């Protein structure tokens, strides 16, 4: 193990090292070392091509990396890491390959390597979240198409307010969440820009090929500005911000479902999506929705923690930014994936109580607004006067125990209770403004599903591009030394 760097004559104080570094590298075996190895493969190809390392050194690098990966990096995992996982990993390569093994570090720094590792690590969780969100959107759209004619009360202020349909609500949820998908998609150009070659922040005078390493690692573009490449972790903030907004939307949807499956009895979950009470045998607790709310709230905490960690730091490579603030992305994305998956399961099992919904529509004066509109249009009353008159009708109906607004209107002969004032007819004929009319909801779903399919295709191509790059890297290595490499996981599909 390298003890003397020339400027620093000892390793880090053991108490400090125990706080800031993992002592035994077990976490690094999963979280970092596979990505260091992939970066080193691309780096070795590039350095050999420009003549900065010998072909024999590149071959030795490939052989040792293949052996390490086949053994799941256990040779490195047992090493002490008094400085950090990267230097422990580099020390191992030097011990096996010789001092020339450290020439892999020509034209780069831990700064650009760590920024690149972050982006490589984010690919899996990024595609996983996208895949879960796409699946949720497809479930919502599919369920909506099955309930275009299912009348359902639209609530405001937690009270029945207007006639709507179950499909209208599900399509609304999907419409909102589709914007969260767009926000997630908007991050991909930044995720797909390489940082390798930016060095410590000043680039390099060496004739390296950042375009080549970017291509071999599956990035669309090389570094544009070396300072920005090592200083910025706004990718983390953008992903967490998008996830936090997604989470906020999910909590509102979850709260709406809690209202439906609660006392109103407008919907229900199957047995496998509810929990029991330890003391109250009659309870069916929709606790998964509360899990969604809790997990989504935790994402906001991750965003605040990451943003606070980056706040007021110098615009250069900075441990507070690149290490401490960045660590919150993993918990944030994990909670986001869990939230989306749970609410998708809830929607898959959700059953609308159609009889209860119809009964609520019939007894709750949800046709009052349409009645006032008809009074204003048909009798030439001004709109406000019509509202007042209908409000008085509702008060009278409640006082005399009339079962509905239509009944009191009939009795008083105030207006002709035309068929258009029946709640389910109102819902079927409210076409303008994105209303619940089946043909309107169908058109909205058609457009929404087209957008979903387009986004899914972009995510698929993104993942496919990363897979192709792995194959290109393997091919480049094979061309250089003819060695059969350990198979590399092809990653996630969307």
Q: Is residue 480 part of a domain?
A: no
DSSP state of 487: P
Q: Is residue 486 part of a domain?
A: no
pLDDT of residue 283: 79
pTM comes to 0.90
Of 393, 350, 373, the residue nearest 435 (C-alpha)? 373
pLDDT of residue 400: 86
Of 236, 218, 136, 243, the residue nearest 461 (C-alpha)? 218
Structure tokens at 94: 């030097």
Share of the chain above pLDDT 90, in %: 69
Of 72, 76, 81, 114, the residue nearest 95 (C-alpha)? 76
Residues 342 and 212 in one domain: yes
Which region among 76-80, 124-128, 425-429, 455-459 has the lowest average model confidence (pLDDT)? 76-80
Which region among 209-218, 365-374, 414-423 has the lowest average model confidence (pLDDT)? 414-423
Residues 192 and 258 in one domain: yes
Which region among 31-40, 76-85, 225-234, 314-323 has the lowest average model confidence (pLDDT)? 76-85
Show the DSSP H helices in 401-437 as ranges. 405-412, 423-429
pLDDT of residue 482: 65
Q: How confident is the model at residue 456 (pLDDT cuts 50, 70, 90)?
A: very high
**Rounded distance, CA 172 to CA 180, Å?**
13
- Could you report the per-residue pLDDT of 68-112, keeping only the tens digit for each? 999 988 888 777 665 677 888 888 899 999 988 889 999 999 999
Structure tokens at 290: 């509360």
Q: How confident is the model at residue 494 (pLDDT cuts 50, 70, 90)?
A: very low
Contacts of 239 (CB under 8 A, 6+ apart): 122, 126, 184, 187, 329, 332, 333
Which region among 93-97, 248-252, 353-357 has the lowest average model confidence (pLDDT)? 93-97
Last residue of a domain, one of 56, 83, 106: 106
Residues 257 and 153 in one domain: yes
Structure tokens at 421: 């004032």
How many other CB atoms are there within 10 angstroms of residue 6's CB atom?
5
Residues 202 and 282 in one domain: yes
Q: Is residue 476 part of a domain?
A: no
Average per-residue pLDDT for the chain: 90
**In this model, does residue 414 exceed pLDDT 90?**
no
pLDDT of residue 474: 96
pLDDT of residue 7: 63
Of 228, 221, 226, the residue nearest 203 (C-alpha)? 226
Residues 251 and 322 in one domain: yes
Last residue of a domain, one of 68, 87, 106: 106
373 vs 29, 82, 160, 164, 390, CA distance in Å? 68, 76, 18, 17, 10
Q: How many residues does the chain have?
A: 494
pLDDT of residue 485: 45
Residues 411 and 339 in one domain: no
Burial 398-407, CB ≥16 within 10 A → b, else e? eeeebebbbe
- Please say whether the beta carbons of 382 and 371 come within 8 A: no
* CATH number for the domain harbouring residue 77: 1.10.275
Residues 341 and 410 in one domain: no
- Please say whether the beta carbons of 455 and 182 come within 8 A: yes
Which region among 69-78, 125-134, 199-208, 340-349 has the lowest average model confidence (pLDDT)? 69-78
Q: How confident is the model at residue 410 (pLDDT cuts 50, 70, 90)?
A: low
Residues 116 and 221 in one domain: yes
Q: How confident is the model at residue 380 (pLDDT cuts 50, 70, 90)?
A: low
Burial 416-429, CB ≥16 within 10 A → b, else e? ebeeebbbbbbbbe
pLDDT of residue 267: 97
**In this model, does residue 40 exceed pLDDT 90?**
yes
- Could you report the per-residue pLDDT of 103-132, keeping only the tens digit for each? 999 999 999 999 999 999 999 999 999 999
- Please say whether the beta carbons of 129 and 430 come within 8 A: no
| DSSP of 261-315 | HTTT-SEE--GGG-B--SS-TT--B-HHHHHHHHHHHHHHHHHHHHHHHHTT--S
Residues 87 and 153 in one domain: no
Residues 28 and 140 in one domain: no
Residues 277 and 177 in one domain: yes
Q: Is residue 459 part of a domain?
A: yes
Beta bridge partners of residue 152, listed in sequence order: 164
Residues 39 and 185 in one domain: no
Structure tokens at 361: 């529509």
Question: For the residues 48-70, what does the mean pLDDT come to?
Answer: 95
pLDDT of residue 483: 54
409 vs 117, 161, 379, 494, CA distance in Å? 71, 19, 15, 56
Q: Is residue 431 part of a domain?
A: no
Q: How confident is the model at residue 488 (pLDDT cuts 50, 70, 90)?
A: very low
Contacts of 9 (CB under 8 A, 6+ apart): 3
Share of the chain above pLDDT 70, in %: 88
Phi-psi group of 432: left, alpha or beta (phi > 0 → left; psi -120 to 50 → alpha; rest → beta): beta
**Rounded distance, CA 166 to CA 349, Å?**
14
**Rounded distance, CA 340 to CA 184, Å?**
14
- Of residues 266 and 420, the one with the higher pLDDT is 266
- Please say whether the beta carbons of 3 and 91 come within 8 A: no
pLDDT of residue 492: 45
Crossing angle (nearest 10°) for helices 405-412 and 368-378: 40
Q: Is residue 157 part of a domain?
A: yes
pLDDT of residue 91: 87
2 vs 23, 39, 96, 186, 208, CA distance in Å? 16, 22, 14, 43, 27
Containing structural domain, residue 318 = 112-359+441-463
Q: Is residue 321 part of a domain?
A: yes
**Rounded distance, CA 463 to CA 274, Å?**
35
In total, how many domains does the chain have?
3
pLDDT of residue 218: 98
Q: Phi and psi at residue 217, in whole multiples of 5°?
A: -95, 0
DSSP state of 13: P
Q: Is residue 172 part of a domain?
A: yes
pLDDT of residue 133: 99
């Amino acid at each position: 193990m390298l003890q003397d760097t020339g400027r620093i004559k000892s390793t880090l104080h053991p108490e400090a090292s125990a706080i800031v570094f993992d002592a035994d590298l077990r976490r690094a075996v999963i979280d970092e070392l596979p990505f260091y190895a992939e970066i080193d493969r691309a780096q070795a190809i590039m350095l050999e091509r420009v003549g900065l390392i010998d072909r024999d050194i590149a071959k030795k690098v490939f052989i040792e990396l293949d052996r390490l990966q086949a053994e799941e990096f256990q040779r490195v995992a047992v090493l002490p890491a008094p400085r950090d996982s990267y230097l422990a990993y580099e020390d191992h390569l030097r011990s096996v390959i010789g001092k020339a093994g450290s020439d892999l570090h020509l034209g780069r720094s831990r700064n650009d390597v760590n920024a690149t590792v972050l982006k490589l690590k984010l690919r899996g969780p990024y595609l996983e979240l996208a895949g879960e969100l796409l699946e949720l959107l497809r479930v919502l759209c599919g369920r909506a198409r099955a309930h275009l004619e299912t009348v359902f009360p639209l609530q405001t202020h937690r009270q029945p307010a207007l006639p709507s349909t179950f499909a209208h609500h599900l399509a609304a949820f999907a419409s909102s969440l589709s914007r969260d998908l767009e926000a997630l998609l908007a991050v991909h150009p930044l995720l797909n820009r390489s940082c390798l070659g930016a060095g410590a922040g000043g680039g390099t005078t060496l004739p390296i090929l950042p375009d080549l390493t970017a291509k071999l690692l599956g990035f669309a573009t090389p570094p544009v500005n070396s300072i920005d490449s090592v200083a910025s972790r706004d990718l983390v903030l953008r992903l967490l911000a998008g996830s936090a907004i997604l989470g906020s939307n999910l909590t509102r949807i979850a709260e709406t479902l809690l209202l439906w499956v609660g006392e109103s009895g407008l919907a229900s979950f199957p047995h496998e999506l509810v929990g029991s009470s330890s003391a109250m045998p009659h309870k069916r607790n929709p606790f998964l929705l509360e899990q969604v709310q809790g997990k989504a709230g935790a994402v906001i905490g991750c965003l605040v923690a990451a943003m606070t960690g980056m706040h007021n730091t110098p615009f250069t490579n900075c441990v507070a930014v690149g290490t401490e603030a960045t660590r919150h992305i993993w918990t944030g994305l994990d909670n986001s994936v869990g939230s989306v998956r749970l609410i998708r399961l809830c929607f898959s099992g959700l059953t609308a109580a159609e009889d209860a919904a119809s009964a609520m529509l019939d007894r709750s004066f949800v046709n009052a607004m349409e009645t006032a509109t008809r009074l204003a249009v048909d009798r030439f009353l001004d709109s406000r006067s019509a509202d007042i008159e209908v409000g008085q009708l509702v008060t009278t109906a409640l006082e005399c125990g009339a079962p509905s607004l239509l009944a009191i209107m009939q009795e008083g002969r105030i207006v002709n209770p035309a068929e258009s004032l029946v709640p389910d007819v109102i819902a079927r004929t409210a076409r303008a403004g994105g209303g619940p009319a089946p043909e309107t909801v169908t058109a909205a779903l058609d457009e929404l599903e087209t957008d979903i399919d387009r986004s899914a295709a972009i995510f698929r191509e993104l993942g496919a591009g990363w897979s192709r790059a792995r194959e290109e890297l393997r091919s480049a290595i094979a061309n250089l030394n003819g060695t059969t490499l350990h198979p590399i996981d092809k990653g996630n599909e969307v």
